[in-house]
Chains A and B, each alone.
Chain A
Amino acid sequence: MIARLLHGVPRHALVLLAMVLTILLAAPIFADDYLLTVLILILYFAYTGQAWNILMGFAGQLSLGHALYVGLGAYTTAALYVHFGIGPWLGMPVAILISVACGAVIGFLAFRFGVGGVYFAILTIAFSEFTRIGFDHIDWVGGSSGLFLPVANYTRNDVVNLRGQPVMFYYVILALTVAAFVICHALLRSRAGYYWQAIREDEPAARALGINTFRYKMIAIIVSAGMTAPAGVFYAFYYNNLFPEQTFFILRSIEIILGPVIGGVGTLFGPVIGAFLLTGLSEGLQELLTHVGLDTPGAKRVFYGVCLLLVVMILPNGIWPPIARFLRLERREPEA
C-alpha cells in the first residue's frame, strides 16, 4: 500500500516533504500563540482547499458553495454536542453523512439534468444561500442569533471532546491536512482519479471512451463534500460560535477556493501553497498597514484584492507549476 503510494515519486520530493512535515510538527515549540493561530488558519484553508480541489481540480466541476458542507458539518456536530452531549468524534460520521447526502442531492440534480459550467457554479451558490437563510429561521440551532458551544478556561487538553488550547487544535488540523494530502495523492492515481481527469479535460470524449461520467462526477462531489465536513467540525469546536450569516456566507466559499486557485488548480501542492501564501499575505498586510498607520477598515482587503488580481493575471495556472519546474518536481503534473 505504502509502496504503491510512493511509486514514481522523486526521491528529492520525499526529502522535501519530510522536511516540511518536520518543521510543521516542531512548529509549536518555537511559535508563539499568535503565530500558532495563523498556522491553524493556514492548515484549515489547506485542508478545505484540498477537499474542494477534488471536485474542481480533479473532476472539473466548479463549486462555489463549499461553505455549505463546512456549515453542515459544523452545525451537525455542534448541535449534537450542545443538545445531547455527543462528542465531536462521534458526531463527525453523522456530519459527514449529512454533507455527503446534501452533496449527492446537488450532484444528482445537476449532473442528471446536464447542468454544468457556470450553471453548476450558480446552482451550488443557490443551495448554500438557501441553506443560510433557512438556518436563520431554525430555532433549534439558534437561528440568526447563533449557536454557542460552552467555553471555559481549559488547563488540560481534552482531545475526546476537542476542548483545549491552541496547540491541540494545531495538531488536530495538521493531522487532518496530512490525511487529506495523502488521500488526494492516492485518489489522483486511482482509476476514479484518471477518469476524473479525463472528464475534466474533455467530457464528451471521456463518455465516448465508455466512462460513466455521471457516476464519476457523483463520486467526485460525494468525496469532496464528505471530506469538507470534518473542516466544519473543526471550525465549530475551534471558534465555539456559529452564525448562519458567517458559516454559510458566500465569502466563506470564496475563501475556500482562493487557496487552490492561487496555488494551482488540480495540483496536490496548490491548495497548500495557496493557503500559506494568502493567509500569510493577509496577516502580513495587517502588520504592515498597522505599522504605517493605514489601518482603516477595508484598506487591508483592497491591497489583498490588488495582490489577488496581479497573481491571477500573471500566473493563470497558479503559483505551484513554476515552483514545481524550479524544484524539478513536475513529473507529468496535470495541466490546470
Chain B
Amino acid sequence: MPADIYLNVAVSGLLTGLVYGLMALGLSVIFGVVRVVNFAHGEMMTVAMYLAVVLFAHLGLDPLLMMLPIAAVLFVIGFVMQLVVINPFIARPEHSQFMLMVAVAVIIVNSLLIVFGPDAQAVQTSYSFDSFALGPLIVDATKLYAGLAAILVAAALFAFFQFAPLGKAIRACADNYTGALVVGLDVKKLYALSFGLGAACVGAAGAIIVLIVDVTPPLGPAYTLLAFVIVITGGLGSMPGALLGGVLIGLTEAMAGLFFTPSAKSMFAFAILVLVLLFRPQGIMGKKLS
C-alpha cells in the first residue's frame, strides 16, 4: 500500500472523529452536570438524523444549514424530558436511572421504526462526491465540512460555559450541588437547561453525521455505546476530553478498518476503553478520582 493511503485514511478518521466528539460532548455535559447516565443518547441522535433526512428530502434543505434549527428542536426535547421524566430520578440508584433511559430508548427506536421503516436513508448533497487535493492528500469535501461544523459548535459551547453567566452557573451546579443551592441557583431549571444543551449537541452532531452515515433506527444503541466509549476514554465531565476521545476513537476505527477488516473496527474502540478503564479510570483528560 502506498504511504499516502494511511494519511488519507487518518485524516478521514480524524474528521469523522470530530463529529463523534461533538456527540460525546453532549453526553459529557449531561453526565457531568445532571449525573444521570443518558442511555438514550444515540437514540436522540437518530431522531436528529431523521429530522435532517426529512428536511432534506422534502424541502431540499442542506443538513449543515439545518444544524442549528435541529439542535434547537432537540434542546426543547431534552429540556422537557429532564423536567418531566428524569428529574424525579436524580436521587435514585443508577440501575433505576438506567432502566428509565432504556425505556425511553426503546420508545424512540421503535417509534422511528414505525414512522420510517427499517430501510437505511441517506442524504445526497450536491457536494457528496467532491474532494480537495492537497499535494498527495485527498480530503473528502463532505467530511471536511462535517469536521469544521463540529469544531464550530463545540467552540460555541466552550465559550458559553467559559464566559456566559448561565454557563458559569451550570458549572457551579456540577462542581458543588449543595453550594449551588446555598447561593440560590435554581438547580432544577439549570439541570433541565444542561440536559437541553446536551441534547442540542447531539442534535447538531446528528444533523452533521447524516452527511457521512446512512440512518436506520437500530443505529441508536450503537451510537449510545460509542458515545460512552468516547466519553470515558476522554474523561467523564471533561469537555476537551470528549473531543479528544472522539478523535482518538475515529482514528482508531479508520485505522482498524484499513489494517484488519471494517467489521472489526468497533472491537478496537472497546479494547481502548478497557485499557483506559484499567490504567487511567478517570480518562485521558479527566480529573483524578477521589
Interface string of A86-119 (1 = CB under 8 A from B): 0000000000000000000000011001110111
A109-B278 in contact given A261-B99, A305-B110, A308-B106 (Cβ < 8 Å): yes
B232 in the interface, Cβ–Cβ < 8 Å? yes
Question: Who on chain A is nearest to B36 by CB?
Answer: A118
Interface string of A114-152 (1 = CB under 8 A from B): 110111011101110110011011000000100000000
Interface residues of A, dominant DSSP: helix
Pick from A30-38, A166-174, A225-233, A294-302 the stretch touching chain B: A294-302
> Which residues on the A side are within 8 Å of B10 (C-beta)?
none
Interface string of B52-83 (1 = CB under 8 A from A): 00000000000000000000000000000000
Of the four ranges (under 10, 10 to 19, 20 to 34, 35 or more), the interface on chain A belongs to 35 or more
Partner of B99, one of A250, A297, A304, A312: A312
With a 10 A CB-CB cut-off, give which of B102, B263, B281, B289 has the most chain A CB atoms: B102
The distance from the CB of A20 to the nearest CB of chain B, in whole angstroms, is 26
Of the four ranges (under 10, 10 to 19, 20 to 34, 35 or more), the interface on chain B belongs to 35 or more
The distance from the CB of B135 to the nearest CB of chain A, in whole angstroms, is 36
A129-B261 in contact given A119-B281, A297-B114 (Cβ < 8 Å): no
The distance from the CB of B40 to the nearest CB of chain A, in whole angstroms, is 10
Partner of B271, one of A130, A261, A265: A130
Cβ contact within 8 Å between B114 and A122: no
Question: Who on chain A is nearest to B107 by CB?
Answer: A305
Q: How far is the CA of A113 from the CA of B111 in the complex (A)?
A: 41
Cβ contact within 8 Å between A133 and B225: no
Cβ contact within 8 Å between B281 and A130: no
Cβ contact within 8 Å between B104 and A113: no
With a 10 A CB-CB cut-off, give which of B88, B99, B221, B273 has the most chain A CB atoms: B99
Interface string of B250-273 (1 = CB under 8 A from A): 000000000001011011001101
Task: Mark A residues whose CB is within 8 Å of B.
Answer: 56, 62, 64, 109-110, 113-115, 117-119, 121-123, 125-127, 129-130, 133-134, 136-137, 144, 250-251, 254, 257-258, 261-262, 265, 296-299, 301-302, 304-306, 308-309, 312-313, 316, 336
Partner of A119, one of B104, B118, B232, B271: B232
A126-B98 in contact given A119-B232, A250-B225, A308-B103 (Cβ < 8 Å): no
The distance from the CB of B147 to the nearest CB of chain A, in whole angstroms, is 26
Cβ contact within 8 Å between B110 and A121: no
> Which residues on the B side are within 8 Å of A309 (C-beta)?
85, 100, 103-104, 107
13 A–B pairs (Cβ distance < 8 Å), ordered by A:
A113-B277, A113-B281, A114-B289, A122-B277, A126-B270, A133-B267, A250-B221, A250-B225, A299-B114, A302-B106, A302-B107, A305-B107, A316-B96
